[in-house]
């Protein structure tokens, strides 16, 4: 029986992934900041979902995750869905700080802990929900794009490290485009996927132990365009 922890499972893709894994028979540790939402998720699968309520910007990450691992009696997979993306039109420091505390500092602490856990165990998998925004800067949310670029580059480094050292740790960098979640709101959206469709593709990609995936798959084209479009053109549009 697979045992996994989803960090950020109170809503959106994290919550739907918790459902998919529980339906598959896995034991799921679900974390988030809102106890009421965690409780309602656990009520759907009382025998398979265990919860821990904490904020990744705090100082309880490792202690609470270790406790959850003990409850599950092990861990085979860690999925990070905790993240924040807020428009910062006027370059608000409070928004930028919260974004970096969540998407960089909290993310790095948790991934570092998980990698070393799996290193001692002899194998495992870490997956992260990054973003297609990781490819280039964005004038409306500079810190968000920068933080997602950090996550994807960090994961590429871990992927290389695991391969070089034969650690047996699969690294999966998921880069969604627009998904119909609270964080995915905004103008000029296109190719918007439902939470259910996005989560299903993410689930399949994680189970296939792929390194980098785009959700939905057509966003691979946008990633290619964002990478190669000249700055003179991109900077006028971004």
Calpha distance 147→40 (Å, rounded): 30
Q: How far apart are the first and last CA of the chain?
A: 46
Tens-place pLDDT, residues 150-207: 999 999 999 999 999 999 999 999 998 777 665 544 455 656 788 899 999 999 999 9
Q: What is the pLDDT of residue 188?
A: 58
Kindly report the pTM of this predicted structure.
Answer: 0.90
Calpha distance 216→199 (Å, rounded): 10
| Residue ranges, the chain, pLDDT below 70 | 180-191, 219, 222-238
Domains of the chain: 3-237 (3.40.50.720)
Q: What is the pLDDT of residue 185?
A: 46
Q: What is the pLDDT of residue 90?
A: 86
Q: Is 110 exposed, middle or buried (0-12, 13-18, 19+ CB in 10 A)?
A: buried
Beta bridge mates, 128: 80, 173
């Amino acid at each position: 029986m697979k045992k996994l922890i989803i960090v950020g499972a109170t809503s959106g893709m994290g919550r739907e992934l918790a459902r998919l894994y529980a339906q598959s028979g896995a034991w799921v540790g679900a974390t988030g900041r809102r106890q009421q939402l965690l409780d309602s998720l656990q009520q759907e699968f009382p025998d398979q979902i265990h919860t821990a309520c904490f904020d990744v910007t705090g100082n309880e990450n490792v202690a609470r995750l270790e406790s959850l691992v003990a409850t599950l009696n092990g861990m085979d997979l860690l999925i990070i869905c905790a993240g924040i993306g807020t428009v910062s039109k006027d370059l608000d420091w409070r928004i930028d700080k919260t974004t970096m505390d969540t998407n960089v500092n909290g993310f790095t602490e948790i991934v570092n802990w998980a990698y070393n856990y799996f290193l001692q165990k002899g194998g495992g998998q870490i997956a992260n929900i990054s973003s297609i925004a990781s490819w280039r800067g964005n004038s409306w949310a500079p810190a968000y794009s920068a933080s997602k670029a950090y996550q994807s580059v960090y994961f590429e480094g871990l992927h290389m490290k695991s391969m070089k050292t034969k650690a047996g740790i699969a690294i999966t960098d998921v880069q969604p485009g627009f998904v119909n979640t609270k964080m995915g709101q905004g103008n000029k959206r296109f190719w918007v996927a439902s939470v259910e469709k996005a989560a299903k593709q993410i689930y399949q990609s994680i189970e296939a132990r792929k390194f980098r995936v785009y959700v939905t798959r057509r966003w691979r084209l946008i990633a290619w365009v964002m990478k190669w479009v000249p700055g003179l053109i991109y900077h006028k549009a971004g």
